Chain A
Amino acid sequence: MRQEIFNRSDFTECPSCHTPVLVKTYPALSQTVKVKPAENIGLDTEASCFFHAQKKAEVACSSCGRYLCSLCDIEFEGGHICAACLAAGKKKKKIKNLETHRVLYDSIALAAAIIPMITVWLTIITAPVSIYIAFRYFRAPTSITGRTKIRFILAIMISSLQLTGWSFLLYRFLK
């Protein structure tokens, strides 16, 4: 892409496809990344990397304490960790910033409480299910962007009302 169309305040025509485009570029586009090579061990007394015996240790993993060369060192959230700890953290969902997927149990519970109301009779099955989901996953993390527990509470309230209604009907029917 030609640089004359970068960072204009208004749309300009793309020289290639003639579509009006607005291109906003940032310093990272022009900056080059300088990398420090991992040094080989010079003396026998020097500590070596846990994963690469020939490489000089630079830091210790802040999680497991293994010595790491600059090749294995991963800077993450201000600390230094090894790839194994990073993978373990992701698997156990201990590192929030590595999470890429979440199930919204609060929305599921609320949907299970509301949607079957269309048919009415289905609520006799879904109301207990909704209450179970709400209690079972009440402490489970919801959306990463921050949500209250209001959906769980609403699901419990609506499902409880449905069950109360069914109980009343059953009582009247048996009476």
Chain B
Amino acid sequence: MADKEYQKLPGGGTKRKAFLDVTRTRASLWMGKDHLLYQLSTGFTEDYKRFYYGDIQSIVVCKTMRFMVWNFVLSGIAIFCGLLAVALKHNIYASPVLYTVAFFFFLFFGINLAMGPTCICHLYTQVSEEELYSLKRIRTARKALKILTSRIEEKQRVATTSDISSSTFVHRSGDQP
């Protein structure tokens, strides 16, 4: 079987402009031979951004509070519904509904807890900065960083000083055309 041109990096997430934004763009990272492909997909169209390994200067992962906020919200609703169900245990209609709601919120809480703390990840090159929406959990970001770092360092080690910014376009003169 022939090798695939791109290998998927761990992680996947949605890019949203606002909390209640209905148009969601799915983000994912793919490792190519000489570049990292950042794919933003709406389902019917795909947009791509390429970051050549030789150009990547740094990747910064910032821990966020989103994990804790969701834990409080989900567990709060689950506990509230659970307590309400206990209080209304004689009501044959309300009690099962509330137990079901509480169960689902506990389930979401458990999933959030299992996925671990959240983060925001940024990739920097000499001329650009990109937020990587596919890396939203620290565990996933660490996994992706580990794979990516070995590839970037391998590429940058072999690249000579003059090659560093030449992955795509090289203007060797400071003159303007």
Do these two chains interact?
Answer: yes
Asked whether any CB of chain B lies closer than 8 Å to the CB of A102, the reply is: yes
Partner of A52, one of B6, B37, B177: B177
Q: Considering the chains assembled together, what is the distance between the CA atoms of A30 and B172 in angstroms?
A: 19
Stretch of B14-22, B104-112, B148-156 that contacts chain A = B148-156
Query: DSSP majority for the B interface?
Result: mixed
Could you say which interface size class chain A belongs to? 35 or more
Cβ contact within 8 Å between B46 and A101: yes
In this complex, what residue of B is CB-closest to A6?
B58
Q: Considering the chains assembled together, what is the distance between the CA atoms of A102 and B37 in angstroms?
A: 14
In this complex, what residue of B is CB-closest to A29?
B57
In this complex, what residue of B is CB-closest to A49?
B177
Query: DSSP majority for the A interface?
Result: loop
Cβ contact within 8 Å between A71 and B171: yes
CB within 8 Å for A28 and B169 given contacts A38-B175, A71-B177, A100-B48: no
A76 neighbours in B (Cβ, 8 Å): 168-169
Asked whether any CB of chain B lies closer than 8 Å to the CB of A46, the reply is: no
Cβ contact within 8 Å between B126 and A28: yes
Cβ contact within 8 Å between B62 and A35: no
Stretch of A103-111, A119-127, A162-170 that contacts chain B = A103-111
Partner of B173, one of A36, A143, A145, A146: A36
Cβ contact within 8 Å between B46 and A144: yes
Partner of B57, one of A25, A35, A143: A25
Q: Which of A1-45 contact B (CB under 8 A)?
A: 6, 11, 14, 19-29, 31-38
Cβ contact within 8 Å between A37 and B44: no
A52 neighbours in B (Cβ, 8 Å): 177
In this complex, what residue of B is CB-closest to A99?
B48
Cβ contact within 8 Å between A102 and B6: no
A134 neighbours in B (Cβ, 8 Å): none
Cβ contact within 8 Å between A28 and B57: yes
- Most interface-central of A28, A100, A108, A143 (chain B CB within 10 A): A28
A28 neighbours in B (Cβ, 8 Å): 54-57, 125-126, 156, 164
Cβ contact within 8 Å between A111 and B61: no
Asked whether any CB of chain A lies closer than 8 Å to the CB of B145, the reply is: yes
In this complex, what residue of B is CB-closest to A96?
B5
Q: Considering the chains assembled together, what is the distance between the CA atoms of A27 and B155 in angstroms?
A: 10
Q: Considering the chains assembled together, what is the distance between the CA atoms of A139 and B47 in angstroms?
A: 20
B126 neighbours in A (Cβ, 8 Å): 28
Query: Which 8 residue pairs of A and B lie closest in terms of their CB atoms, listed nearest first?
Result: A20-B63, A29-B57, A38-B173, A22-B61, A70-B172, A36-B172, A71-B173, A25-B58
Question: Which residue numbers of A lie inside 8 Å of B, CB to CB?
Answer: 6, 11, 14, 19-29, 31-38, 51-52, 69-76, 83, 97, 99-104, 107-108, 111, 143-146
